[in-house]
Amino acid sequence: MAGGRSADRPLPCPRRATRAAGHDDHGAADMPLRRLPMTACLLALAACWSGAAHALTTCSATMTHLTFGPVDPLGGLVDTTATINYQCTYSSGLLGNLYGVYARLCMSIGTGAQGSGVQPRQMISGSGDAMMFQIYRDATRTQVWGSVDTPGTPPLQRDLQFTILGVGTTQTGTATVYGRVPAGQTGLGVGAYSNSFSGIHTRLSFRYNEALLSLGTFPTDCGNANNGSFAFTASASVAPACTVSATTQDFGAVSGLLRAAQDATSTVSLRCTYRAPWQVGLGLGQNAAGTARRMTGPGGLIDYELYRDLGRTQRWGTTLNVDTVTGTGTGATQSLTVYGRVPAQTPRTAGTYTDTIVVTVTY
C-alpha cells in the first residue's frame, strides 16, 4: 500500500522567447537574442520534470508462523524463530528515473487476539490455560518487539532505498523474529496453545522521501499509518510428562523367628504435567514366585507384600485400572505411600534380606 510521501515542490518552467532577426515593430535596430547559461537551463528543466514524475512507492510484508513445538512445563525454556519478508516497489513515469526514493518501514506486533498485554504475551489452550511467551527483535532476546503505539516497546525498523533509474523495480529484505517460552511454567496443562496475530494485531507503517538525483535522506520516522498487515500465528503444545522417585522401604531389625507380621512404609514421589492422568505400578521384584514378592538373603527367601492402603488389603501391582494407583497431574510433586508387610512365617537365618522393585508411571 502507499505510504506517506514528501518531495521537492516543482519550480515554474521558463518559456523560451523568440523574435525574427532584422525586424523591429517599433523601428528599433536589430538586437541579438540572449541565451541562458547551460547549467541554468538544465536546472530549470529538471525542476520542470520534478512536477511530472507522479511517483508512487508501495510496500508490503508477510511473516511465517512462530511455531514453538512441544513445551515441557517441567523442563527448560524453548526458543524458536520466524521470518518477515518485506518489499517496496517504486512506480512512476519516465521522468521518475531522475529521482531516488528513501523508504523507512516499521513492522509492529501487538498483543494478539488471545493476548491481554505485550509484557508478557500469552498463548491460550482449549482448556483456558495461559502460556507466557515473548517476541524479540534481537538474537539475544532482550529487545521486546512492540508497536509504533508503544514507545517503551518499539517496532522493528528497516530502510529500503531506490537510486536513480529505479522506476519499476522492487527492493526486498528479510528480518528474523525471535520467540521464547520461558521456563518455570509448571502449571501449564496438557493441550495445544495458540495466539492469532491478524487484523489489528500486526501493522506495517512506512514513509518515504523522493529526491532528485538521489540527493536525499530517509524520513525521520515511519509514521503510524496502517499500510498493511503480516498475519501469523504463535503456537505451542504441552504433552503429558512425569518424573518419579522412591524411598527405600526398610522393615528394620526383625526377629529371625518371624512369629509376627512386621509392617513398614515408604514413599513414591511423582511430578506430572497439569491435567495429565497417570497410573503408578509396582513390579514383582527380582525374586518373585508367581505374584508373591520375596526378599533374598543368607537364609534363603523371605515373603513380603506391598499394598495401596493402610489396612494392607489392596495389593499394589502393575495391571492398569486394576491394582495400580491412579491420579491426575498438578504440575507439583505428588506423594504416594507404599504400605509394606512381612507376614509371619518360618524362621530364617539372621542377616540382611533385600529385593528391588521397579516403579512404573503410565501417563
* 203 and 281 both lie in a single domain: no
d(CA 321, CA 306): 17
pLDDT, greater one: 157 or 14: 157
What is the CATH classification number for the domain harbouring 60? 2.60.40
* 223 and 76 both lie in a single domain: yes
Residue 74 pLDDT grade (very low, low, confident, very high; cuts 50, 70, 90): confident
The pLDDT of residue 57 is 94
The pLDDT of residue 304 is 98
d(CA 78, CA 285): 39
How many domains is the chain partitioned into structurally? 2
* Domain range for 255: 242-362
Q: What percent of the chain has pLDDT over 90?
A: 80
- Side-chain half-sphere CA neighbours of 255 within 13 A: 10
| Local structure of 49: helix, strand or coil | helix
Give domain status of residue 55, yes or no.
yes
Give domain status of residue 134, yes or no.
yes
Residue 38 reports pLDDT greater than 90? no
Angle at 252 between CA 250 and CA 257, to 5 degrees: 125
Question: Contact 149/59 with Cβ under 8 angstroms?
Answer: no
Residue 4 pLDDT grade (very low, low, confident, very high; cuts 50, 70, 90): low
Residue type, 136: Y
Residue 53 reports pLDDT greater than 90? no
The whole-number average pLDDT for the span 175-203 is: 96
49 beta partners: none
- Residue 200: DSSP 8-state: G
- Residue 38: DSSP 8-state: H
The whole-number average pLDDT for the span 182-188 is: 94
Q: What is the pLDDT of residues 16-36, one digit of tens each?
A: 333 333 333 333 334 343 443
The whole-number average pLDDT for the span 86-102 is: 92
The whole-number average pLDDT for the span 63-72 is: 97
